[in-house]
Amino acid sequence: MRKYSIAIALALLLPLSGTAMAAVVYVSGQGQSYDPGIALENARADAVAKCTLQAGTPVEEVYNHLTRANLWLASSIWECDVP
């Protein structure tokens, strides 16, 4: 009887283990343009696309950076929940 009750308890906990396996990862994206706003928009879109490619959900932007060279270069780092 004891083994049977342990098996039932483990079977009930099995669906909960899938949610416990979710992880937070960080993805980065890059963009470039002659306009700084467009460069940053492209970098954000790139990072969100990388997150959704992993079947994740973008949570929030953690960091972004703009640099002026011949073009505006932008980078964006996002927090992503991945199952």
Cα–Cα separations (whole angstroms), residue 65 to 33, 38, 53, 61, 80: 14, 13, 23, 11, 19
CA atoms of 62 and 74, how far apart (whole Å): 14
Q: What is the pTM of this model?
A: 0.72
> Locate tokens 């992993």: which residue?
54
Counting the structural domains of the chain, the total is: 1
Q: What is the pLDDT of residue 24?
A: 93
- Residue 42: give the domain boundaries: 21-82
For position 57, which CATH number holds? 3.10.28
CA atoms of 16 and 9, how far apart (whole Å): 12
Asked, for residue 61, whether it belongs to a domain, the answer is yes
Give mean pLDDT in consecutive 10-residue pieces for the chain, a chain of 83 residues: 54 53 90 96 96 94 94 96 92
